Structure 1
Amino acid sequence: MLRTPASERRLDILEWLKEPARHFPQPRHGDLVQIGVTADVVAAKLGVRRRVADTHLALLAGIALLAGIGLLHATRIRHRTYYRRDEMRIAEVARMFEKGW
């Protein structure tokens, strides 16, 4: 999943979500760090359509029928899904790569 042609974009998303307030506009309601960001703002930052951003985020979060690795938490609030990093899972995956996974 991280070696696909679009993997650089997914790595960018993970990097941006380390400090979401630095990379994304502040939402009208809530906090970027606590609730995360929507596919709309990720799409705008990537310069792609929302569906493309949805796919990248779903792969990172491991949701729906896509085979992801669960690096993001996805939280549904009303009609939007918000994504934020899952630091424990990221550390777990990093350890697997260090061990030669």
Structure 2
Amino acid sequence: MLSTPADGTRLRILTWLAELGTAERGLTADDVAGRLGVPRPAAVSHLRLLTSLGLLRATPGDGGGPRYLRDEIRVAEVTRLFEKGW
């Protein structure tokens, strides 16, 4: 699920959310849409899927919708599963 679509969009979102500065404040759907160059609804779909997988958590934003942060514990769990070849 993470590598679909084939261009690695969801992996890029997870990578951005690990960057210094972004990791602390998170990203909004508008931030993701702007960085990806896609419509906001497409960004929201990616963020919702990552949230439903437990890889992101949504926190209240400052009027522009939720801010998304990585759930580092869940990301580590999934990473371990992939390393085991599951």
In structure 1, distance between residues paired with 2:80 and 2:60: 29
Contact 1:20 1:36 in 2 (8 A): no
In structure 2, distance between residues paired with 1:57 and 1:74: 9
TM-score by length of 1: 0.73
Contact 2:23 2:69 in 1 (8 A): yes
Partner of residue 40, structure 1:
30
1:94 is aligned to 2:79: yes
In structure 2, distance between residues paired with 1:60 and 1:49: 17
Higher relative contact order (CA 8 A, sep 6+): 2
Runs of 4+ more than 4 Å apart: none
Query: What number of residue pairs does the alignment pair up?
Result: 85
**Unaligned ranges ≥5, structure 1:** 22-31, 63-68
Contact 1:39 1:50 in 2 (8 A): yes
Partner of residue 85, structure 1:
70
CA RMSD of aligned residues (A): 1.8
**Unaligned ranges ≥5, structure 2:** none
Partner of residue 15, structure 1:
15
